C-alpha cells in the first residue's frame, strides 16, 4: 500500500506499470473490492436492452461484501418507464429472484411466491396472513421491498452503484461526453452480447484496451492494416474518472467510417474511432458504424470475467442488404482481435508473477494506461 501511494504521485514522465504485486496479490484484490467496486459506478448494460415496461436483465457485479465474488443485480424498466436497480435477492429468505433477461409484469419469487411490483415493492405474499410481528401487528406487504441500488444512465449505458452515498456519475464524465456525445451511441442497436473469462488480472485487460501502443504490433492484421496506425492516434490526458484516445481511420478502411445516411458526424469525426474507459471497469470502442464495449470484473487475481456487447449504428444496419451477414462480419473481426490480444494479455500476467519481473518507462501512446494505474493506486491506497 505504501508503494501504491508512492505510485499514485508519479508524473507521467516518471511512470511505470504498477508494482507486480498489484496484479497478483489477494490482498490487493480485496482492497479493490472494498475501495473500488463497492463504491464506483459499474456498467450493467444499455438502455437499448430494456425498451419496454417489464423488460429486465440480471447482471453480476463485483462485490465487496461477505466474501462473495459477485452480487447479482436486477435492472428493470417499470410501468412509468423508469429504470430501477435492485439486489436480486428475495426479502423473505434470500432466494435468487430472476435469471438471465426477459419481460415480466411482476417479479415473483420462485421459492414461496412473494410477488414484487417492478418498482421493488412487495404486493402479495401467500399464506402470510397468520404472521404477526413482535408488536402484534399483522404482516403487511408494504413493509417489505427489494433493496434498491443507485442507477444512472450515461450515453445509453446503465450504471449501478452499491454505495448509497455515491456522487452522481454524469458530472464526472462531462469532459468525456463532450467528445463521445457526438456519436449518439445511445441509439446504436444491440446485435450481439456474451460473457467470456480470460486467465489474467482484470487490470491487465483494462490496460490493454486503453493501450494505443500495442495496436501496430498485435493488431497489424486487423485494426492496423492501414499501415502505421500510431501516426493517426492522439492520446489525451485522463481524469480520475475516465481516459480516452482517438484514432482517425483511413477513408478506404472497411470499418470505422460513417455511412452516407449518418447526419450527426462531420469532418474527420466521420472516420474517427474513440477508445474510452469509464473507471474502473468499463471500456468501449466507439465508431461511426458500431460500438463494442466490455464490462470487466475480477473472478480472482488471475482471472477476469468479460461481459461484452456489440451494437450497430441504426443507419448502418438499415443500409445492409444482408444484416445478419454484416453482423457476422463485425463479430468475426472482433473475434480475430480478441484472439490477437488474449495470448499477449495472459502472457503479461504470467510475466508479472515472474520473480524477475521488471518495469520500463511508458511510451507517449500509453498515457491512458498511466491514468488508469494512477486512479487505481490513488483509490486503493
Ligand atoms: S425466499 Fe422468496 S418468497 Fe420465500
Ligand atoms: Fe488489443
Ligand nearest to the Cα of 336, by number: 2
**For the CA of 275, the nearest ligand:** 2
List the domain boundaries for the chain.
Answer: 2-39+174-380, 44-153
Q: Above pLDDT 90, what percent of the chain?
A: 91
Of the candidates 274, 330, 307, 362, the residue with the CA atom closest to the CA atom of residue 100: 307
Helices (H), the chain: 2-8, 21-24, 26-32, 174-180, 202-210, 215-218, 314-318, 323-352, 367-380
To test the pocket of ligand 1, the residue of 96, 109, 122 to mutate (highest count of ligand atoms within 8 Å of its CB) is 109
Residue whose CA is closest, atom 4 of ligand 1?
A: 112
State the Cα–Cα distance between residues 71 and 82, nearest whole angstrom: 22
* Ligand with smallest separation from the Cα of 342: 2
Q: What is the 153 CA–ligand 2 centroid distance (Å)?
A: 27
Backbone φ and ψ of 146, nearest 5°: -70, 150
- Is the predicted pLDDT of residue 67 greater than 70, yes or no? no
Query: Which residue of 91, 106, 112, 128 sits with most ligand 1 atoms within 8 Å of its CB, as the best mutation to test the pocket?
Result: 112
Q: Which CATH code for domain 44-153?
A: 2.102.10.10
For a substitution probing ligand 1, which of 88, 93, 97 has the most ligand atoms within 8 Å of its CB? 93
Of the candidate ranges 67-76, 107-116, 251-260, 356-365, the one whose mean pLDDT is the lowest: 67-76
pLDDT bracket for residue 65 (50, 70, 90): low
State the pLDDT confidence band at 325, using cuts at 50, 70 and 90: very high
Measuring from each residue's beta carbon to the nearest atom of ligand 1, which residues come in under 6 Å? 90, 92-93, 95, 109, 111-112, 114
Distance 287 CA to ligand 2 centre (A): 16
Under 8 Å CB-to-CB from 282, ≥6 apart: which residues?
Answer: 42, 43, 157, 159, 293, 294, 295, 296
* Residue recorded with cell 470505422: 256
pLDDT given at position 20 = 95
What is the CATH architecture assignment of 2-39+174-380? Answer: Alpha-Beta Complex (3.90)
Closest CA to 206 of 37, 7, 34, 329: 37
What pLDDT shows up at residue 64?
64
Q: How far is the CA of 223 from the centre of ligand 2 (A)?
A: 9
Question: What's the gap in Å between 141 CA and the centre of ligand 1?
Answer: 13
Same fold: 2-39+174-380 with 44-153: no
> How many other β-carbons are positioned within 10 Å of the β-carbon of residue 173?
23
For 96-161, strand residue ranges (E) read 101-103, 107-108, 115-116, 122-124, 148-154, 157-161
Amino acid at each position: 500500500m505504501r508503494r501504491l501511494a508512492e505510485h499514485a504521485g508519479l508524473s507521467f514522465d516518471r511512470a511505470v506499470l504498477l508494482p507486480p504485486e498489484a496484479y497478483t496479490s489477494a490482498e490487493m484484490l480485496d482492497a479493490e473490492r472494498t475501495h473500488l467496486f463497492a463504491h464506483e459506478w459499474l456498467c450493467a448494460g444499455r438502455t437499448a436492452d430494456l425498451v419496454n415496461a417489464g423488460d429486465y436483465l440480471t447482471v453480476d457485479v463485483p462485490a465487496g461484501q461477505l466474501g462473495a465474488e459477485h452480487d447479482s443485480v436486477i435492472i428493470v424498466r417499470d410501468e412509468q418507464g423508469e429504470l430501477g436497480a435492485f439486489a436480486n435477492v428475495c426479502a423473505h429468505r434470500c432466494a435468487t429472484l430472476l435469471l438471465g433477461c426477459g419481460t415480466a409484469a411482476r417479479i415473483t419469487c420462485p421459492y414461496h411466491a412473494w410477488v414484487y411490483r417492478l418498482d421493488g415493492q412487495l404486493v402479495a405474499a401467500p399464506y402470510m396472513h397468520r404472521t404477526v410481528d413482535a408488536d402484534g401487528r399483522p404482516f403487511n406487504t408494504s413493509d417489505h421491498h427489494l433493496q434498491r441500488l443507485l442507477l444512472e444512465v450515461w450515453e445509453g449505458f446503465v450504471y449501478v452503484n452499491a454505495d448509497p452515498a455515491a456522487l452522481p456519475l454524469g458530472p464526472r464524465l462531462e469532459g468525456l461526453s463532450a467528445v463521445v456525445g457526438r456519436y449518439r451511441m445511445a441509439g446504436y442497436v444491440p446485435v450481439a452480447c456474451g460473457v467470456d473469462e480470460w486467465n489474467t488480472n482484470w487490470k491487465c485487460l483494462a490496460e490493454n484496451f486503453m493501450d494505443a501502443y500495442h495496436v501496430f504490433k498485435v493488431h497489424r492484421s486487423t485494426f492496423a492494416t492501414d499501415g502505421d496506425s500510431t501516426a493517426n492516434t492522439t492520446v489525451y490526458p485522463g481524469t480520475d474518472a475516465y481516459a480516452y484516445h482517438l484514432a482517425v481511420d483511413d477513408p478506404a478502411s472497411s470499418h470505422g467510417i460513417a455511412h452516407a445516411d449518418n447526419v450527426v458526424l462531420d469532418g474527420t469525426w466521420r472516420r474517427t474511432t474513440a477508445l474510452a474507459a469509464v473507471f474502473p471497469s468499463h471500456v468501449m470502442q466507439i465508431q461511426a458504424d458500431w460500438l463494442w464495449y466490455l464490462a470487466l470484473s475480477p473472478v480472482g487475481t488471475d482471472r477476469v470475467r468479460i461481459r461484452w456487447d456489440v451494437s450497430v449504428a441504426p443507419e448502418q444496419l438499415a443500409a445492409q442488404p444482408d444484416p445478419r451477414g454484416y453482423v457476422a462480419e463485425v463479430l468475426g473481426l472482433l473475434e480475430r482481435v480478441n484472439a490477437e490480444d488474449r495470448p499477449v494479455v495472459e502472457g503479461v500476467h504470467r510475466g508479472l508473477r515472474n520473480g524477475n519481473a521488471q518495469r520500463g518507462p511508458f511510451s507517449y501512446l500509453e498515457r491512458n494506461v498511466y491514468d488508469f494505474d494512477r486512479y487505481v493506486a490513488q483509490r486503493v491506497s
